[in-house]
Chain A
Amino acid sequence: MNNFWITVMHTASKRMQSKAFIWSTVITMLIIIGIINANNIMSAFSNNEQSGESPSTVAVVDNTTNDDTIAEMLASYEEGTFDYQNYTEGNQAEALEAVKDGEFDFVLTLKGETTNLEVEFFGSSTDYTVGQEVKQDVQRIKESVVTNQLDLNEEEIAKIYLPISFSEQPLTENGEVQTEETHMQAYWMVYGLVFVIYLIVISLGSMIATEVATEKSSRVMELIVSSVNPIVQMFGKLVGIGIVGLINLAALVVAGIIGFMISDDNILQSILGEAIDVSLLLYAFVFIMLGYFVYGGMAAMLGALVSRAEEVNQAIQPLIFLAMIAFFISIFGLNTPDSTLVQVLSYIPFFTPQLLFLRIGMGNVPTWEIILVIGILIVSAILINILAARIYKGGVLMYGKFSFKNGIKQAFTMSKKEN
């Protein structure tokens, strides 16, 4: 076993043996299982409470010109979630009073003619869907009343509502058509990956930087770099922490699968089972790896510039800002994957993993462009790591107050190759 792998094993095993790592992994796994089953858990509670209860009641005050027809039809309407009752005992004000007394939940006032119906709804302040549903119900009743008045028979009505046959074809021969299903799937995958990259940068990045800074502040670093080339050590650390990250990620995926199995949710299972796009998953993996090396190299470099573990947060702040900017651009970009801004920014290595993945997942990116941009990303990952290694080599022997400009300058003098 050479020194690179010794460092990898040491870094990874030290991290994974720590109680903090074990517990945070277990807790995140439980949270994921919980979130996936949130619907079941909530409905389990609400079923117990609400199954015996009657649906919300709506008092209908009919002030239309044609004698309560609509109100009565609403009252006999059985399909909706609400229990409409024709309120004949008084006017709107009295109906509102009745709500206060707890007799009804909501009040609906109808005015004008049937064809030109004016509806006022006194509804819920917490749930906008209530109003929408009521509107739909009234609209449906109105349609049936009007078709009745026009004396149309069922055949004629059926003709009106008969759906057209609509088929969408790609513009080019090999193009794809985005269906709602593929759109939503890509949407959630992109959203998920962008979030994962963000998490990886923040958690693994600060893990790397802390690890380096801790070795520096405990002064064990000088002993280590007298045995191992600092550059070998830096990459050993990157790979070691990367392995920890992969194991963590795998644990979360396992938690996700367990969650779905428990949840027994057909829709989710069918998405997971049938519709998963393998090429998109592969891209996700590639971008996570490359993104890790871009941000991880930077984090190791920044960690080497500080002398004490307390200064790590200050040092990696710029990196976290970059990750946050990329994250927010991606969230906005989800709806406009083809905008020029997203296109241009996806060429910048710090944004490429999130934004190019977003463009591939949500829109159409020509193959040459994918190759070009990934090429740029790989080259810049290598360049960033060469630079980081150089600064790391000088930085690990450097102690003093942390400052970016002086630190980097000093690190360069320390690591200066002579002759």
Chain B
Amino acid sequence: MTLMIDHVKKQFGKHKAVDGVSLTVEKGSMFGMLGANGAGKTTTFRMILGLLDPTEGSVTWEGSPLSYKRTNLIGYLPEERGLYPKLTVEEQLLYLMRLKGMKKKEIIKSMREWLARFSVEEYENKKIEELSKGNQQKIQFIASVLHQPELLILDEPFSGLDPVNTDMLKDAVQDLQAAGTTIVFSSHQMRNVEELCEDLIMLKRGRAVLQGNLRDIKRSYGTKNVVIHSDHDLQFLESIQGVTNLEQTADGVTVQIKKEKVAEDLFYAIAEEGFVRKFEVEEPSLHDIFVDHAGGDTNE
């Protein structure tokens, strides 16, 4: 009852877009896919959807590959948003959902529910080109979930949304997961991934550089930050073994260390100097981990 990606490779000519990725997404879980631009996220999604054939390996959903016979089970929000600009919201959703095998009555009924949820009921008969970008994105999202898919693939669902709409969408995604939908999504915004995902994979040039449970990843990630607030000059800490970086802040310094053991050495060294207002060992943020692995470039 899972999505299984087994040693999948995809090669376009000489270029390896995806190079031996394996992952398992449990039914009903939320899975995050991270990676800089061109890391192979969209290609992986397209292989899950059956739009591209893997060069090697296999992608299966509940034991068999996803073909056009089962597309009704999948919802997809592409990274490049697109709807028919000249059609109204209703015409649009009617066509797209009919392709997913829904009846007109059902479509209209659940379309109204979703439009109400996103407080855009008044746009039912408006053309897409007349809507603002944020509202177009809501319609695009509705188009990917209206048919109650078992597997929902969201490629950068939050990009280009304001904070209010991001929260609205996040709530919707969490509700869908609570209702049993399996969700795979990619994002550049690490905060969203940290909030939503239990498991994740980080891709770089088609390969997985990091994979597993979010908490485990953070815990096993050696590098940590030590935040120190003090009036003393703490520049000398840089010379302690195991310190990789030292950054001056308004209240003191933030020191990046290789492993937790180094924090002890730091503590004793500072204690000799005198009083400190704050000494805290922080878990690394996903952002730091991402930057470290992906080599910068976290934003589009």
Contacts and interface: CB of A to CB of B under 8 A. Distances in A.
Interface of A: 1, 3, 6-7, 10, 14, 215, 218-229, 232, 397, 410, 413-414, 416-419
A228 B82 CA distance: 16
Contacts of B87: 14
B99 A222 contact: no
29 contacts: A6-B95, A6-B99, A218-B83, A219-B80, A220-B82, A220-B84, A221-B82, A222-B82, A223-B83, A223-B96, A223-B143, A223-B144, A225-B51, A226-B71, A227-B71, A227-B96, A228-B71, A228-B99, A397-B46, A397-B51, A397-B52, A413-B13, A414-B12, A414-B52, A416-B53, A416-B55, A417-B53, A418-B53, A418-B55
Contacts of A397: 46, 51-52
Nearest to A227: B99
A14 B74 CA distance: 26
A417 B82 CA distance: 27
A6 B72 CA distance: 15
B6 to A, nearest CB: 13
B42 to A, nearest CB: 9
Given A222-B80, A226-B76, 5 more contacts: A220-B82, A224-B99, A226-B74, A227-B100, A228-B68
A201 B86 CA distance: 25
Interface in B37-74: 46, 49, 51-56, 68, 71, 74
Nearest to A394: B52
Interface in B92-149: 95-96, 98-100, 143-144
A233 to B, nearest CB: 9
A219 B78 contact: yes
Contacts of A419: 53-54
B296 interface: no
Give the interface centre of A215, A223, A224, A417 by most chain B CB atoms within 10 Å.
Answer: A223
B85 interface: yes
Contacts of A416: 53, 55
B46 A3 contact: no
Nearest to B71: A227
Contacts of A221: 82
B interface, size bucket: 20 to 34
Nearest to B52: A414
Interface string B218-260: 0000000000000000000000000000000000000000000
Nearest to B69: A229
A222 B46 CA distance: 9
Interface in B1-47: 12-13, 46
Contacts of A219: 78, 80-82
B83 A413 contact: no
Given A226-B51, A397-B46, A417-B53, A3 B83 contact: no
A9 to B, nearest CB: 9
Contacts of A10: 95
Nearest to A419: B53
A226 B96 CA distance: 10
A223 B95 contact: no
Contact of A218 (B53, B71, B84, B100): B84
B82 A218 contact: yes
A418 B100 CA distance: 26
Nearest to B48: A226
A220 B83 contact: yes
Contacts of B12: 410, 413-414
B85 A218 contact: yes
B7 to A, nearest CB: 13
A209 B203 CA distance: 37
Give the interface centre of B12, B13, B49, B68 by most chain A CB atoms within 10 Å.
Answer: B68
A376 B226 CA distance: 78
Contacts of A3: 99
A419 B100 CA distance: 28
B54 A6 contact: no
A235 to B, nearest CB: 14
A324 to B, nearest CB: 31
A397 B10 CA distance: 15
A413 B49 CA distance: 18
A419 B98 CA distance: 32
A224 B82 CA distance: 10
In the A-B complex, the 6 residue pairs with the smallest Cβ-Cβ separation, listed nearest first, are: A219-B82, A220-B82, A227-B99, A418-B53, A219-B80, A226-B76
A218 B140 CA distance: 13
Contacts of B80: 219, 222
Contacts of B56: 418
A232 B71 CA distance: 14
Give the interface centre of B51, B87, B100 by most chain A CB atoms within 10 Å.
Answer: B51
Nearest to A228: B99
Contacts of B76: 222-223, 226
A1 B83 CA distance: 22
B68 A229 contact: yes
